[in-house]
Amino acid sequence: MSLPNIPLSPFWMPFTTNQDFKANPRFIARAEGHYYWSDDNRKIYDSFSGLWTTGLGHCHPKIVEAVQKQVAELDYAMTFQMGNFKAFDLAERLCKMAPDGFEHAFFCNSGSEAVETALKIALAYHRAKGEATRTRLIGRERGYHGVNFGGISVGGISANRKTFSPCLIPGVDHLPHTFNLSESAFSKGLPKWGAHLADELERLCALHDPSNIAAVIVEPAAGSTGILPPPEGYLKRLREICTRHGILLIFDEVINAFGRIGASFAAERFGVTPDIITTAKGLTNGVIPMGAAIVTGEIYNTIVQGPPHIIELFHGYTYSGHPIAAAAGLATLEVYEEEGSFEEAKSLEPIFEEAIHALADHPKVIDIRNIGLMGAIELIPHEGGPGLRGLEAHKHCFWHEDMVIRNGADILQFSPFLNSKPDDIYMTFDKIRRTLDAII
């Protein structure tokens, strides 16, 4: 198998070292189950299940069949003043899976758009309540909420923000992140240290007056920044403060949802119910782009009122509730239930934890963190520059270990399939040990 001789320059690749990649490209030609095949026909294990997306494995036959059937039946229909059955069916199914009180889903195309939708809904909700002064938004340092302007404004990853900082939306503050290497290095599961950091929200309330704050948005377990599980009690403390001051709490579960931490949603796993949940990725098993903001009945009913011929929320996307994406989503949710995927994922957690922490003794490792089936190995930066060692590990795995990993700078990230076998997990970290031994 080989790919055609195509020019590399026209495609400006996302979150990629374009110059480095195009000097020695790494192409994926096909996928099935837990594996990719490269253009030179090597079978390559996917240790990241897509991009946090494909927990059921690639090309799951039930999802493939649903998409094939739907594209031949109804390829597209706008959802502006019209509907399609699959979108309504998926909304009902998704809300039933969500915590009690979540009754409505607004569909979009990605996690970035789900965040934009949630932020807009939060502002519209307070305005509809007659609390138009509530416009301030609060995110968290090292938070990742996509790459649209709202998402990077409430997000807290400096590399994503610095180029665009003059145009970020005003009226945004950030809570401190919860990572502390001296207090929580090599934590297994939830760190014991850090719940007190939620009290910074009280300081921001005192600074701005809570009557001016619309919403707080956090990832329950931060993902893209390098896997930062919440400290014990931290999320409950955030919930208490938000409730006391009438502030909406948004959980960005684009990564966390659909079994990634052993439950339908992190809200369920941690026993903390927010007011809005954003999701994407595992919603369709990564097969078709789709995201959603899921809201309580109280939020929806507050906004959706007034003259019935007037649009209540001026927001939406050409592909909101796309029938093929909805068909993929319905099939995905059915497979999760039929195969017991969330329970299976939870049963793998201790095996994953044992295997990833077995690398704690490696001299290039400065920290290991895990929650559910999310894990990170943080490496000592190479003297040649931050990120060099992590990129070398990624490339070495691809070329010499026939495995795909994700690196965020010098943090190696892992996201096993929900239906992984123990041997898959042990194999992954055997390959990582050999890689760390081999690279500079």
Question: What is the rounded CA–CA span in Å between residue 434 and residue 152?
Answer: 36
CA-based torsion, 66, 71, 73, 75: positive or negative: positive
Q: Pick from 43, 53, 114, 38: which is nearest to 277 by CA?
A: 114
Exposed, middle or buried: residue 123 (CB in 10 Å: 0-12, 13-18, 19+)? Answer: middle
Q: Pick from 336, 381, 433: which is nearest to 94 by CA?
A: 336
DSSP structure class, residue 222 = B
DSSP structure class, residue 190 = S
Torsion of CA 285, 296, 136, 157, to 10 degrees: -20
Task: List, in sequence order, the alpha helices (H) in 155-227.
Answer: 158-161, 181-184, 200-208
What are the structural domain ranges in the chain?
A: 18-56+343-438, 64-338
Task: Identify the residue whose tokens are 């195509």.
Answer: 6
In whole angstroms, how large is the CA radius of gyration of the chain? 22
DSSP string over 36-49: EEETT--EEEETTH
- Within 253-290, strands assigned E span 276-279
Q: What angle do CA 376, 380, 386 make, to 5 degrees?
A: 95
Task: Identify the residue whose tokens are 């690279």.
Answer: 439
Q: Pick from 332, 350, 397: which is nearest to 53 by CA?
A: 332
- Name the strand (E) or helix (H) holding 375: strand 374-379
In the prediction, which pLDDT does 216 show? Answer: 99
The helix/strand/coil state of 343 is: helix
Question: What is the rounded CA–CA span in Å between residue 417 and residue 341?
Answer: 10
Side by side, which strands form the sheet with 411-414?
A: 365-371, 374-379, 411-414, 406-408
Q: Please tell me the CATH code under which domain 64-338 is placed.
A: 3.40.640.10
Bridge partners for 382 per DSSP: 385
Q: How many CA atoms lie within 13 A of 413 on its CB side?
A: 20
CB 295 within 8 A of CB 102: yes
pLDDT in tens, the chain (440 residues): 455 688 999 999 999 999 999 999 999 999 999 999 999 999 999 999 999 999 999 999 999 999 999 999 999 999 999 999 999 999 999 999 999 999 999 999 999 999 999 999 999 999 999 999 999 999 999 999 999 999 999 999 999 999 999 999 999 999 999 999 999 999 999 999 999 999 999 999 999 999 999 999 999 999 999 999 999 999 999 999 999 999 999 999 999 999 999 999 999 999 999 999 999 999 999 999 999 999 999 999 999 999 999 999 999 999 999 999 999 999 999 999 999 999 999 999 999 999 999 999 999 999 999 999 999 999 999 998 999 999 999 999 999 999 999 999 999 999 999 999 999 999 999 999 999 999 98
Residue 194 CB neighbour total at 10 angstroms: 23
CB 217 within 8 A of CB 252: yes
State the CATH architecture for 18-56+343-438.
Alpha-Beta Complex (3.90)
Distances (CA, A) of 120 to 76, 114, 135, 211, 215: 26, 10, 10, 17, 10
CB 232 within 8 A of CB 195: yes
Residue type, 186: F
The pTM assigned to this predicted structure is 0.97
Q: How many CA atoms lie within 13 A of 317 on its CB side?
A: 19
CB 176 within 8 A of CB 195: no
Question: What is the rounded CA–CA span in Å between residue 226 and residue 127?
Answer: 36
Bridge partners for 46 per DSSP: 404
In the prediction, which pLDDT does 5 show? Answer: 81
CA-based torsion, 202, 151, 94, 280: positive or negative: negative
